[in-house]
Amino acid sequence: MPGLHIGRGGLGGQCQSVGHVQPHLVVGAKAGFSKASAYRIEGDARPPSQKKGPRGRGRSDPLAPYWDAEIIPILKAAPGIRVIGVLDELRRRHPNLNPALNGPEQDVIFRQEHEPAGSGRPRRPH
């Protein structure tokens, strides 16, 4: 607990030797941190918001080859066009653009329909 004296027994045996307690564990325990948090903070004291760099894209942009040549002219010709209109025009010009519709065959899933018992009450196993 914060504010209480911590001896060798209060840290669950986390001592390097009989008379010496690891300082990061003492400070972490006084502040209410777990042992794991104390080790993590000791390794790198920067807050998590400063540790991570900017994340890049997970995959390449599928519309990149069409952007300058086709999408920008469509947007300039019709400034009020909705996104679905741009995508419909791209599909009209390039029928194989959507890999979900034109890709390899997928497994078929048969959904199960659970109908109630004849009396309208659920069936109970015996």
The answer to whether residue 123 sits within a structural domain is no
Residues 44 and 15 in one domain: yes
Residues 97 and 69 in one domain: yes
The answer to whether residue 27 sits within a structural domain is yes
The pLDDT of 92-96, averaged and rounded, is 86
The pLDDT of 116-123, averaged and rounded, is 63
Total count of domains within the chain: 2
- Check: pTM over 0.75? Answer yes or no: no
The answer to whether residue 53 sits within a structural domain is no
Residues 13 and 44 in one domain: yes
The answer to whether residue 21 sits within a structural domain is yes
> Residue 82's pLDDT band (boundaries 50, 70, 90)?
very high
DSSP code per residue over 53-94:
-----SS--TTHHHIIIIIHHHHHH-TT--HHHHHHHHHHH-
The answer to whether residue 111 sits within a structural domain is no
The answer to whether residue 109 sits within a structural domain is no
Nearest to 31 by CA among 2, 58, 8: 2
In the structure encoding, which two tokens stand for residue 89, read together? 């025009």
Residues 43 and 69 in one domain: no
CA-derived radius of gyration, the chain: 31
* Calpha distance 60→4 (Å, rounded): 55
* Calpha distance 20→80 (Å, rounded): 72
The answer to whether residue 93 sits within a structural domain is yes
Give the domain extent around 81: 64-101
* pLDDT at residue 71 greater than cutoff 90: yes
Nearest to 30 by CA among 16, 10, 45, 13: 10
* Calpha distance 25→36 (Å, rounded): 9
* pLDDT at residue 24 greater than cutoff 90: no
SS3 41: helix
The 8-class DSSP code of residue 120 comes to S
The answer to whether residue 28 sits within a structural domain is yes
Q: Which segment of 3-12, 37-46, 64-73, 79-88 scores lowest on mean pLDDT? A: 3-12
